[in-house]
């Protein structure tokens, strides 16, 4: 019988952790009693440098029930690195690993269907939102726009999928071969290949606490994802430069023809527009190039993604 580990990254989740652990325990009991997973299956909480009592609560959960285990990072390293730390630790013990958030927005009933897909031979099963009706218009528009834009730029992502997924031990071993510092898991996992499938679910409201991804972090996360998966924005700079030259040539022709026809040329207005337009274009281009250079700089340093300060595991 296969062993399942559920990896849950946590950052300042003391408000939601008691309820999360309660529901996860009930789900694990159900799967074990039905014979779908081994009794050695566990839940692994990953403390991403929390500033509240999150790690203390994880220790108390482990003392009360050895089914709960924990990984504590030396400092806050961000959601993707915390998730990766949990996955790389869990793969040493599990046949399959499911990752989910601690806020209880991911439907736990989808776990049963993911395990069924694994038993049918799938190495990767994506949890995909069936709809975004509970989101605000702005959240829905920006989120779906991100997936479509990333796909248009050449990034291979699963539409409406976050980090709720099942991965087999073989898939996790393949993931461990990727050594890049700027790890964007939503784009890396589809690169692995292997047999995949999806499970649709309804995403609920956050049980307690505040979202760890305000607008600023969401935009930064989206930018990291696009620049990590595709180099097409660099090509757009060349295209924009060519189009700017064409536009400048057309304006020059218009001005020459207008001068011969006796039309008045709005010199200062045209000059002001040209300066503003091309200055903005140049600064945008420098910014895009700078993003890629910055990533190259960090990759060449080959700094560790995270350090684990403590592991609690029986």
Series of mean pLDDT values for 10-residue runs along the chain (314 residues):
90 88 89 86 91 90 90 87 90 90 83 89 86 63 63 65 87 86 77 85 62 56 59 65 70 68 62 69 74 70 78 84
Query: β-pairing, 4-10 with 96-99?
Result: parallel
Identify the pLDDT of residue 32.
87
User: In a 3-state reduction of DSSP, which class is residue 266?
Assistant: coil
Topology of domain 4-214+304-312, CATH: Spore Coat Polysaccharide Biosynthesis Protein SpsA; Chain A (3.90.550)
18 token code pair: 């008691």
Identify the pLDDT of residue 154.
60
C-alpha–C-alpha distance, residues 58 and 47, integer Å: 8
Identify the pLDDT of residue 168.
92
Cα torsion 93, 97, 101, 102: sign: negative
- Type and span of the H or E element at 257: helix 232-260
Query: β-pairing, 68-73 with 308-312?
Result: antiparallel
DSSP state of 212: S
Please list, in sequence order, all residues whose beta carbon lies within 8 angstroms of the beta carbon of residue 55, skipping any fewer than 6 positions away.
47, 70, 72
Please answer whether residues 19 and 53 qualify as being in contact, where contact means their C-beta atoms are separated by less than 8 angstroms.
no
The Cα-based distances of 50 to 47, 69, 78 in angstroms read: 6, 16, 11
Identify the pLDDT of residue 176.
86
C-alpha–C-alpha distance, residues 204 and 152, integer Å: 29
Please answer whether residues 118 and 166 qualify as being in contact, where contact means their C-beta atoms are separated by less than 8 angstroms.
yes
234-243 contacts: CB < 8 A, separation 24 or more? 234/288, 234/289, 234/292, 236/288, 237/285, 237/288, 237/289, 240/281, 240/285, 241/285
Please answer whether residues 71 and 85 qualify as being in contact, where contact means their C-beta atoms are separated by less than 8 angstroms.
yes
Q: What is the reported pTM?
A: 0.71
- Type and span of the H or E element at 196: strand 196-201
Burial of 223 (0-12, 13-18, 19+ CB in 10 A): middle
The Cα-based distances of 272 to 10, 177, 258, 266 in angstroms read: 51, 52, 19, 10
Residue 128: beta bridge partners?
Answer: 161, 200
Extents of the domains making up the chain = 4-214+304-312, 232-301
C-alpha–C-alpha distance, residues 93 and 42, integer Å: 9
Identify the pLDDT of residue 14.
86
Identify the pLDDT of residue 97.
93
51 token code pair: 């500033």
Angle between helices 267-301 and 215-229 in degrees, nearest 10: 80
314 token code pair: 């029986």
């Amino acid at each position: 019988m296969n062993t399942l580990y559920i990896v849950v990254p946590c950052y300042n989740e003391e408000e939601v952790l008691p309820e999360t652990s309660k529901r996860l325990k009930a789900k694990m009991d159900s799967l074990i009693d039905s014979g779908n997973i081994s009794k050695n299956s566990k839940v692994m909480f990953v403390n991403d440098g929390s500033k509240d009592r999150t790690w203390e609560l994880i220790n108390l959960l482990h003392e009360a029930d050895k089914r709960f285990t924990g990984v504590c990072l030396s400092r806050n390293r961000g959601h993707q690195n915390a998730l990766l730390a949990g996955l790389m630790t869990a793969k040493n013990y599990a046949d399959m690993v499911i990752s989910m958030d601690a806020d209880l927005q991911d439907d736990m009933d989808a776990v049963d269907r993911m395990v069924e897909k694994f038993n049918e031979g799938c190495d990767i099963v994506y949890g995909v939102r069936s709809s975004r009706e509970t989101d605000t218009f702005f959240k829905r528009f920006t989120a779906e726009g991100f997936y479509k834009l990333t796909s248009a730029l050449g990034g291979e992502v699963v539409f409406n999928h976050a980090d709720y997924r099942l991965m087999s031990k073989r898939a996790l071993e393949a993931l461990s071969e990727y050594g890049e510092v700027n790890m964007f898991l939503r784009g890396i996992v589809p690169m692995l290949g292997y047999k995949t499938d999806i499970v649709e679910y309804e995403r609920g409201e956050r049980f307690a606490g505040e979202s760890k991804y305000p607008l600023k972090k969401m935009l930064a996360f989206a930018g990291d994802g696009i620049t990590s998966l595709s180099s097409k924005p660099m090509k757009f700079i060349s295209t924009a430069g060519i189009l700017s030259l064409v536009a400048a040539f057309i304006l020059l022709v218009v001005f020459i023809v207008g001068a011969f026809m006796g039309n008045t040329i709005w010199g200062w207005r045209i000059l002001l527009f040209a300066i503003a337009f091309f200055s903005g274009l140049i600064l945008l281009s420098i910014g895009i190039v700078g993003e890629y250079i910055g990533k190259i700089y960090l990759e060449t340093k080959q700094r560790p993604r995270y350090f684990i300060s403590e592991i609690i595991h029986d």
